[in-house]
Every structure is written in structure tokens, then in C-alpha cells.
């Protein structure tokens, strides 16, 4: 049975954060707020949960997943970052951007792009998400919560997400409204930034 957990968006209750983190550590799948809408999150190494996410979102095996990191120090463990990329990412995180970077050996192969060996990484500007990462002590594997039957212009409330995914995820965090536009995606693998998706983050900073 899915738990619906209401967490204060500005002052997250540590007890509830630890409750959610315990679910993630034990192989659970959670819905949580970011600075660009709600997302699905799980432990970085959990293949079974990855397959569950693919079924929920009706994704093919080549879909690119993202690592949610606390900060640049953690990001640098999982991605190769040159000086230009470091400066640009530092100046624009935390924020609603996903950066495509070359993955290090710390990233499980199933999360890397099968040919390019890249990984998407983001640092969220959301207090609940940051509190979860702090308590977890490592990144989460994540993807935006976009359901196959969902109207692009329709913003789902947490209780609606709970009703739609009851029994399919382990917990839904109600963290209030947190936006609905997906992140801007910036490819940093060529040495220069390339905007590959326009979203919530200002793309002009990379053009």
C-alpha cells in the first residue's frame, strides 16, 4: 500500500524525511517534489525499481535517467567535469537544469547512455529534495513524473498522483505546488554547452 506523506515545503520534518529515506534505502520507489515538478526517485543501484519506473511511465530501454545530487562535490564523483563545465554548473546550481556529462565508473552501466556512456545530472533547488539527499548520503536515480495518460498542460496535485499510483509506488510526498515545467537540458559533452531541451531553467545562459 502506498503511503501519502505530507512534508512541510520550507521546514521539512526530519522524522518524515528519514521515513522516506528508509523507503528508498530498502528498495522502494517514491514520488517527491523538485524545483520543476514532481519526480520518481529510487536508490541508485536498484535495477528492479528501474524496471518498475519504465512500466509506470511506459519508457523504452534507451530512456536516459538522471542522478539527483546534493552539490558539485557529489556531482564530480559520478561525472567528468572540465573547467568550463564546472564554472557553468557552479553558477547555475542548484536550479532547474539537467546536465548531460560523461559518466565515471561510479555510475552503474544500466544508467549510462548505451553508446555515449553519458549520464544526466541535476542539483535541485527544493528544500525537501535536498533534505532527502542529505539524509541519504548519496544521489538518487530519478526521472520526471510524466504519466502516459497525462495531458501536457495538466498539473497533477499530490493527492491525484497518490490515487493514480496507489499500489505502484511506495510513497508519495505531498510537498505542495512545486512547478510543472521540466528542467532545461544542457549537453556539456562536446566541451561547449548545447541546449537540447528548453524548460524551466533560463537557456540563454548557455547559448
Residue 40 phi/psi, 5-degree rounding, is -95, 135
pLDDT tens, residue by residue, 67-113: 999 999 999 999 999 999 999 999 999 999 999 999 999 999 888 88
pLDDT at 174 over 90: yes
Domain that holds residue 173: 3-206
Q: Are 7 and 178 in contact (CB under 8 A)?
A: no
Q: What is the pLDDT of residue 154?
A: 60
Measured between alpha carbons, how far is 6 from 13 in angstroms, rounded to an integer? 9
- Chain position carrying cell 539537467: 98
Query: Domain count of the chain?
Result: 1
Percent of the chain at pLDDT exceeding 90: 77
The enclosing domain of 155 has a CATH number of 3.90.870.10
| pLDDT attached to residue 181 | 87
Q: What is the pLDDT of residue 110?
A: 85
Torsion-angle region of 27 (φ positive above 0: left; ψ -120 to 50: alpha; else: beta): left
Give the span between the Cα atoms of 21 and 203, in whole angstroms: 32
Q: Mean pLDDT, to the nearest integer, of 29-38?
A: 96
Grid cell for residue 18: 528519514
Closest-CA residue to 9 (of 33, 41, 38, 45)? 33
Distance from chain centroid for Cα 156? 17
Over range 115-143, report the average pLDDT: 96
Q: Do residues 67 and 141 lie in contact, with contact meaning Cβ atoms separated by under 8 Å?
A: yes
Res 150 pLDDT > 80 = no
Q: For residue 65, what pLDDT is reported?
A: 84
% of residues, the chain, pLDDT over 70: 97
Amino acid at each position: 500500500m502506498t503511503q501519502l506523506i505530507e512534508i512541510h515545503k520550507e521546514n521539512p520534518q526530519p522524522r518524515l524525511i528519514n521515513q522516506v529515506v528508509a523507503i528508498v534505502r530498502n528498495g522502494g520507489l517514491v514520488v517527491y517534489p523538485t524545483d520543476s515538478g514532481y519526480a520518481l526517485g529510487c536508490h541508485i543501484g536498484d535495477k528492479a525499481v528501474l524496471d518498475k519506473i519504465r512500466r509506470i511511465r511506459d519508457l523504452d530501454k534507451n530512456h536516459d535517467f538522471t542522478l539527483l545530487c546534493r552539490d558539485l562535490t557529489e556531482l564530480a564523483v559520478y561525472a567528468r567535469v572540465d573547467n568550463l563545465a564546472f564554472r557553468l554548473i557552479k553558477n547555475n546550481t542548484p536550479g532547474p537544469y539537467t546536465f548531460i556529462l560523461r559518466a565515471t565508473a561510479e555510475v552503474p552501466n544500466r544508467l549510462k547512455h548505451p553508446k555515449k556512456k553519458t549520464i544526466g545530472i541535476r542539483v535541485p533547488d527544493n528544500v525537501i529534495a535536498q533534505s532527502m539527499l542529505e539524509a541519504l548520503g548519496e544521489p538518487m536515480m530519478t526521472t520526471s513524473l510524466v504519466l502516459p495518460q497525462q495531458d501536457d498542460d495538466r498539473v497533477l496535485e499530490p493527492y491525484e498522483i497518490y490515487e493514480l499510483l496507489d499500489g505502484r509506488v511506495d510513497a508519495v510526498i505531498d510537498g505542495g505546488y512545486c512547478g510543472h515545467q521540466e528542467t532545461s537540458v544542457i549537453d556539456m559533452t562536446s566541451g561547449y554547452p548545447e541546449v537540447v531541451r528548453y524548460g524551466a531553467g533560463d537557456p540563454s545562459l548557455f547559448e
